[in-house]
């Protein structure tokens, strides 16, 4: 029998009533799972489902009717049933590709600007959106970084995209990030145009690239497939016009349309907290026209469009379909990748509050609930050390990418635990959180304010600042390596054969020995071997040549060896010297 529940948790009493059991019986079952709960305490749905299943019931979560109605209203507002109102719109193109394959340089050539040299570490740090004109028509480009660290951003870029341009270097070939980009485009059912870049290089081999693409089911037109392939040289500007022509051709085939006369909807590409302007977001209009003064909702935040600027930094009053635009006027920094919709202010505020409450509720129960799976997981991970991190970044896109990269670092002994991830300068609150959690603060393209710096010194909190994502990842790896349990290995030094025994007053037994291999050092560790069996293990107490104390004796020399706290040495014994060294641990 199925039971429908419209909340993300249920009290023991409510569950008892729904599955016709005594509350005391449910409490006993929970105790068997190691969960202590009273009759009025909440338990999460996973645990409730296990208890209900034992009594022959199945729990099904259903979204409250009121929430459904509001969300449906928003969806309906974004749709228009009249096909006559639709007009053609510019294509939104995502340029994807492996790092160093010339993706940013290609965009530079298209936009005729130089972005590459300004970027830290030679890699585009944020998703930008740009619009260019070709043959009297517009094309909007999204620039998603090419490194695998940006998988999440690239996947999100694909959601907002009509056409994917896949950049592959003619002198390098299909790489892991190229395959990743192909899979994202295929998953989003997005048409792909391949741009084989760097064809001006002597080692360029376009046919080899086409062969590699065929292995991933991308068959180019000249080989009888459907994939358009254009040879380009971003540096020399070759093939750029052909590429733009092909983009417009594919856009024509796709029949991209929108209704410019309705309330705008679209997707946020990136967002950040600007010290002078407050929350700022870059969005691409997917339908309708966005106007100054429109009320807008994005996920759990809302606002009124105060000002808009286009990709050239010019202030604009209206943004038609497919136009990239920077929007000011949000109450909070919206999450990159969220869809936005223009609706009336009252509904926007109400829905944003409801979504926020739901999100807070889910977070609370994720943090506080104890399900059977969680208990087992905690038991399995109890031996792991944690590197707690407070992460602050200048934009949501960067923060998400950096967080994904850090969480991907694998180790059986240490794990990264990101306790807070936010946008904007490092604040006093961040330092207090780090101090309470024994965490370090990582700032990406941000700086701490004066008060935060002062507090960090007082509290002994370490703030590490980076401008290049790879450096942040590498440094975190080094910190994690430093937290690993030290490992030691034995390093063999040498061995000596005992040929004479001398009893020295107050010094004990001294073994007159001959070094047959390696060397022996004073105070090194030593083991006494008799007939192939270890008779004793200790330390070299004294080492002499003739009457002088020496630090070490090498192979082929005679010496007198005393072993600390051990006198049972016999002629014919072997004394083996060794040291214990700590091995540098790496992830």
Q: Are the C-beta atoms of residues 335 and 268 closer than 8 Å to each other? A: yes
Task: Give the range of the structural domain holding residue 477, as residue numbers without chain letter.
Answer: 383-483
pTM of the model: 0.56
Q: Are 458 and 413 members of one domain? A: yes
Task: Supply the pLDDT for residue 16.
Answer: 86
Q: Are the C-beta atoms of residues 230 and 196 closer than 8 Å to each other? A: yes
Q: Judge whether 371 lies within some domain.
A: no
CATH classification of the domain holding 121: 3.40.50.300
Q: Judge whether 286 lies within some domain.
A: yes
Q: Are 107 and 250 members of one domain? A: yes
| Residue 381 pLDDT exceeds 70 | no
Q: Judge whether 369 lies within some domain.
A: no
Q: Are 550 and 446 members of one domain? A: no
| Residue 145 pLDDT exceeds 70 | no
Report the SS3 class of residue 226: coil
Q: What is the pLDDT of residues 210-222, one digit of tens each?
A: 888 888 888 888 8
Record the tokens describing residue 24, joined without a space: 């005391």
How many domains does the chain fold into? 5
Q: Judge whether 79 lies within some domain.
A: no
Q: Are 495 and 538 members of one domain? A: yes
177 pLDDT tier (thresholds 50, 70, 90)? confident
% of residues, the chain, pLDDT over 70: 83
**Strand pairing report for 558-563 and 533-545:** antiparallel
Record the tokens describing residue 261, joined without a space: 């006369």
Task: Supply the pLDDT for residue 158.
Answer: 44
Q: Are the C-beta atoms of residues 119 and 145 closer than 8 Å to each other? A: no
Q: Are 472 and 495 members of one domain? A: no
CATH classification of the domain holding 534: 2.40.30.10
CATH classification of the domain holding 52: 1.10.10.2480
Q: How far apart are CA 164 and CA 97, in angstroms?
A: 10
Last residue of a domain, one of 232, 255, 278: 255
The sign of the dihedral angle between the CA atoms of 22, 24, 27, 31 is: negative
Provide the CA 441 distance to its chain's centre, in angstroms.
16
Task: Supply the pLDDT for residue 203.
Answer: 84
Q: Are 422 and 479 members of one domain? A: yes
Last residue of a domain, one of 230, 255, 280: 255
Q: Judge whether 366 lies within some domain.
A: no
Q: Are 396 and 446 members of one domain? A: yes
| Mean pLDDT calculated for residue range 65-81 | 52
Q: Are 105 and 204 members of one domain? A: yes
CATH classification of the domain holding 470: 3.40.50.10050
Last residue of a domain, one of 222, 255, 288: 255
336 pLDDT tier (thresholds 50, 70, 90)? confident
Q: Are the C-beta atoms of residues 283 and 327 closer than 8 Å to each other? A: yes
Half-sphere exposure (Cβ direction) of 70: Cα atoms closer than 13 Å: 18
Q: Judge whether 142 lies within some domain.
A: yes
Task: Supply the pLDDT for residue 570.
Answer: 93
364 pLDDT tier (thresholds 50, 70, 90)? very low
Q: Judge whether 85 lies within some domain.
A: no
Strand residues in 12-67 grouped as ranges (E):
42-44, 58-61
Q: Are 223 and 107 members of one domain? A: yes
Q: Are 339 and 244 members of one domain? A: no
| Mean pLDDT calculated for residue range 91-116 | 72
| Mean pLDDT calculated for residue range 32-45 | 77
Q: Judge whether 357 lies within some domain.
A: no
Task: Supply the pLDDT for residue 559.
Answer: 95
Q: Are 493 and 576 members of one domain? A: yes
Q: Are 106 and 34 members of one domain? A: no
């Amino acid at each position: 029998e199925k039971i429908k529940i419209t909340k993300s948790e249920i009290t023991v009493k409510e569950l008892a009533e729904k599955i016709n059991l005594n509350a005391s019986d449910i409490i006993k079952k929970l105790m068997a799972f190691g969960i202590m709960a009273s009759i009025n305490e909440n338990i999460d749905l996973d645990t409730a489902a296990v208890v209900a299943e034992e009594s022959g019931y199945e729990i099904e979560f259903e979204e409250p009717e009121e929430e459904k109605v509001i969300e449906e209203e928003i969806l309906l507002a974004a749709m228009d049933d009249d096909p006559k109102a639709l007009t053609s719109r510019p294509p939104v193109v995502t340029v994807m590709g492996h790092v160093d394959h010339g993706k940013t340089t290609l965009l530079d050539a298209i936009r005729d600007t130089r972005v590459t040299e300004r970027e830290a570490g030679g890699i585009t740090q944020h998703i930008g959106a740009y619009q260019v004109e070709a043959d009297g028509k517009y094309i909007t480009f999204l620039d998603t970084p090419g490194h695998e660290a940006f998988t999440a951003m690239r996947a999100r870029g694909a959601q907002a995209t009509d056409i994917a341009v896949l950049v592959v270097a003619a002198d390098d070939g299909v790489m892991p990030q190229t395959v990743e980009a192909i899979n994202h485009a295929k998953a989003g059912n997005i048409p792909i145009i391949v741009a084989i870049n760097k064809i001006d290089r002597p080692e360029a081999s376009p046919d080899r690239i086409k062969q590699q693409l065929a292995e991933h089911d991308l068959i180019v037109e000249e080989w009888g497939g459907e994939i358009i392939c254009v040879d380009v040289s971003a540096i020399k500007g070759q093939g750029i016009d052909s590429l733009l022509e092909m983009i417009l051709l594919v856009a024509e085939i796709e029949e991209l349309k929108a209704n410019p006369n309705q309330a705008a909807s679209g997707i946020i590409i990136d967002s950040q907290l600007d010290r002078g302007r407050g929350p700022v977001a870059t969005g691409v209009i997917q339908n309708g026209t966005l106007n100054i003064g429109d009320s807008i909702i994005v996920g759990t935040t809302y606002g009124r469009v105060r000002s808009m600027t286009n990709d050239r930094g010019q202030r604009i009053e209206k943004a038609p379909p497919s136009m990239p635009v920077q929007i000011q006027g949000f109450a909070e920094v919206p999450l990159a990748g969220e869809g936005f919709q223009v609706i009336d202010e009252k509904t926007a505020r109400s829905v944003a509050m409801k979504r926020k409450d739901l999100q807070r509720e889910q977070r609370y129960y994720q943090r506080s609930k104890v399900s059977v799976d969680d208990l087992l997981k905690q038991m399995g991970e109890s031996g792991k050390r944690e590197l707690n991190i407070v992460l602050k970044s200048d934009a949501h896109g960067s923060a998400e990418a950096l967080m994904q990269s850090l969480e991907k670092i694998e180790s059986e002994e240490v794990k990264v635990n990101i306790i807070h991830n936010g946008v904007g300068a490092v604040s006093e609150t961040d330092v207090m959180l780090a101090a309470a959690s024994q965490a370090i603060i990582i700032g990406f393209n941000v700086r701490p304010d004066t008060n935060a710096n002062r507090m960090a010194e007082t509290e002994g909190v370490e703030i590490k600042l980076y401008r290049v994502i790879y450096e942040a990842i590498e440094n975190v790896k080094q910190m994690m390596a430093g937290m690993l349990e030290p490992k030691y290995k034995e390093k063999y030094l040498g061995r000596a054969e005992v040929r004479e025994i001398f009893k020295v007053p107050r010094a004990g037994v001294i073994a007159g020995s001959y070094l047959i291999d390696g060397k022996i050092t004073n105070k090194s560790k030593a083991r006494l071997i008799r007939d192939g069996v270890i008779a004793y293990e200790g330390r070299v107490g004294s080492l002499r040549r003739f009457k002088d104390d020496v630090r070490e004796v090498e192979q082929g020399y005679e010496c007198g060896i005393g072993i600390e706290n051990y006198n049972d040495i016999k002629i014919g014994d072997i004394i083996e010297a060794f040291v214990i060294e700590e091995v540098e641990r790496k992830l």
